[in-house]
Structure 1
Amino acid sequence: MPLFPAALLFLHLLAAAFWVGGMAAMHFSVRPAAVATLEPPQRLAFMANALSRFFFGVSIAIASSLASGLLLVWTMGGFARVHWNVHAMLGVGLVMMALFLHVRFAPYPRLLRAVAAREWPVAAANLNTIRKLVVVNLALGVLVFVLAIVGQAF
């Protein structure tokens, strides 16, 4: 594989690993640890802060993944020349991006406002909404990895 496509693929995989792996880490490690050790006011403030940092990285990962993926398709001759699984990965990835944008611009700002106002039940409800949407996005992210690896066989 020539250097340019290899570098694009590396960037693409790195971005995907950060995003999907980060969701897994937040859902299966950070959140349960926060629930086990922090009272609701501290836990909600902690999670809002952790999500702020994570969402910044996800924004970079999304831009990197989309740009590198489209450039990879271009180096292969365009969408007419790539395997069906590339189309499927793009479709699922766009759904994931839409879900992230919804989380980032709807329940997340409400979480921040509720934490700042010390409205703990409202903050908890918004964090729970984010948790549910992250589970959906995590499942979709795993599906993208399956499409990338197993999809080549079909």
Structure 2
Amino acid sequence: MLLVHLLLLVLHLLAAAFWVGGMATMHFCVRPAAVQLLEPPLRLPLLAGVLARFFRGVTVAIVVLLVTGFAMIMGMGGMAAVGWPVHAMLGIGVVMMLIFGRIRLGLYPRLASAVAARQWPDAGAAMSGIRQLVFVNLLLGVAVFLVVLLARVL
């Protein structure tokens, strides 16, 4: 049973690291370099393509996080048996998933449509909205990591 829990935990952590690390890479590295080096007709299709790939990975990561998270919770006796850190992680995670849903199902289709139509101001506006929500999700992801650390020291 310990081996199963360890495997679930490793998969859970890898999925969280992919999502949060990917957001940090996009926000602090890829997008700023693209802005610096490329004009909108080149930059926005590149970013839309990168986001399409990243969002597929995030979707898989979310499924892995939910399956492994709830499996570990059930293995520990259910929600009533786990402490505040698990409740906090789950609550923050649900908010992050809702924000991702807004990005993936709302703003990203606007970006992709505007890029396909070569409507650079509209694409830029959609990208700006995505960037802002990704930053919020990045802060929430860091908060989850802080909850884990606090749970270890308290």
* Matched-pair identity in %: 56
Within-5 A mapping of 1:112-131: 112-131=112-131
Say whether residues 1:150 and 2:141 are aligned partners: no
8 Å CA contact 1:85, 1:152 repeated in 2: no
TM-score, length of structure 2 as denominator length: 0.98
How far the C-alpha of 1:151 sits from its partner, in A, is 2.7
- The aligned counterpart of 1:72 is 72
Query: What residue ranges of structure 2 are gaps of 5+ in the alignment?
Result: none
- The aligned counterpart of 2:91 is 91
TM-score, length of structure 1 as denominator length: 0.98
- The aligned counterpart of 1:135 is 135
Distance (whole Å) between structure 1 residues aligned to residue 100 and residue 33 of structure 2 = 23
Query: What residue ranges of structure 1 are gaps of 5+ in the alignment?
Result: none
Distance (whole Å) between structure 1 residues aligned to residue 76 and residue 146 of structure 2 = 21
How far the C-alpha of 1:11 sits from its partner, in A, is 0.4
Question: Residues 5-35 of structure 1: CA distance to partner in whole angstroms, max 9, x if unpaired?
Answer: 0000000000000000000000000001101
Deviates more, 1:131-140 or 1:36-45: 36-45
- The aligned counterpart of 1:23 is 23
- The aligned counterpart of 1:81 is 81
- The aligned counterpart of 1:44 is 44
- The aligned counterpart of 2:59 is 59
Q: C-alpha root-mean-square deviation of aligned residues, in Å?
A: 0.9
Distance (whole Å) between structure 2 residues aligned to residue 142 and residue 129 of structure 1 = 20
Question: Residues 105-127 of structure 1: CA distance to partner in whole angstroms, max 9, x if unpaired?
Answer: 00100000000000000000000
How far the C-alpha of 1:153 sits from its partner, in A, is 3.2
Distance (whole Å) between structure 2 residues aligned to residue 95 and residue 3 of structure 1 = 30
